[in-house]
Amino acid sequence: THTINKIAAGEVVERPASVVKELVENSIDAKASSITVEIKNGGIDLIRITDNGKGIPKDEVEIAFLRHATSKIQTAEDLSHVLSLGFRGEALASIGAVSKVELLTKTPHDLTGKRVEVEAGKIISSEEIACPAGTTFIMRQLFYNVPARRAFLKTVSTEASKIADVVYKLALAHPEIAIKYIQNNKLIFQTNGGYDLQRCVFSLYGKETAKDTIPFHYEKDGIELSGLCGLATLARANRNYEFFFINGRYIKSPLLQKAVEEAYKTLITIGKFPFIILHLNLAPEEVDVNVHPTKLEVRFKESDRIYNAVYEGVHHHLSAENL
């Protein structure tokens, strides 16, 4: 089964950035209000994620490292209305199979917590310990036992920038969570939490960018839109500043891109792209996020309805601002 886990790990764990994404998503699913992400050497040597979430009960810690161990869905039916970010029960098993892991966790109502160490898929130690409520997950030496995969990684700075990309998007997806990002002992950013997206953008991109955005909110037959529209002065040369989130999950969507860009068209120079952060809240049945394990692409049940709501919401809002 170790071989199977190593192969399967490729699906979820492609590179350090995918480890960071899976672990932070677990912290979000655990309702953490504060998450610290720390990496060293592009995440290859060290990834440490600390959260103040609900922790893992002592008798479930070892099980959590087994493939398909998830506490988030019980039945196949649950799959059609998942709101949690994870549901496959693959991340911990996959990461544990290809690195050295140390996990410390405690639930708020337990007096003591648990510390386990996993190497190449084997639990090598497990003990009861005193620790704060929440979970700390430390991963060291990614792919140390799979040299072929390790050789496939890009340079340290490329891997680091892929991680930063993931962490920035997670922070924008969850302005309500205070997220701290530390790279090689240097604090890169720190958000405050507390639902204020503009303030979150301030923490990530600085004052000029935050100042040049306007918050919006729009609702139309069961579709809720909110976010920040960049003003005309913030037009960008590429799409790197178009962020789309559905139910708290970053996604890529040509449909949403088009709706937003069409709405902007009369307002900014052709050939330029807006700065926009769009949060879409939909009934989980309206959207299928189960398209690929990396879960970036979605299928809408009624794409016309979504397109129109987004176009109208953004257009209406920008017109109201008399740009």
Member of 91, 103, 104, 287 binding Mg ion (CB under 5 A): 91
Work out whether 27 is an interface residue with Mg ion (CB under 5 A): no
Work out whether 104 is an interface residue with Mg ion (CB under 5 A): no
Member of 15, 54, 180, 249 binding ligand ADP (CB under 6 A): 54
Residue number of the CB closest to ligand ADP reads: 86
- Shortest approach of ligand ADP to residue 210 CB, angstroms? 30
- Is 88 or 317 the residue whose CB approaches ligand ADP more closely? 88
- Shortest approach of ligand ADP to residue 27 CB, angstroms? 5
Member of 9, 13, 56, 101 binding ligand ADP (CB under 6 A): 56
Work out whether 91 is an interface residue with ligand ADP (CB under 6 A): yes
Member of 5, 6, 13, 27 binding ligand ADP (CB under 6 A): 27
Member of 26, 183, 191, 247 binding ligand ADP (CB under 6 A): 26
- Shortest approach of ligand ADP to residue 323 CB, angstroms? 42
* Lateral strand order in the sheet of 100-106: 122-129, 113-119, 100-106, 134-140, 46-51, 34-40, 178-183, 186-190
Binding-site ranges for ligand ADP (CB under 6 A): 22, 26-27, 30, 51, 53-56, 64, 69-72, 86-92, 135
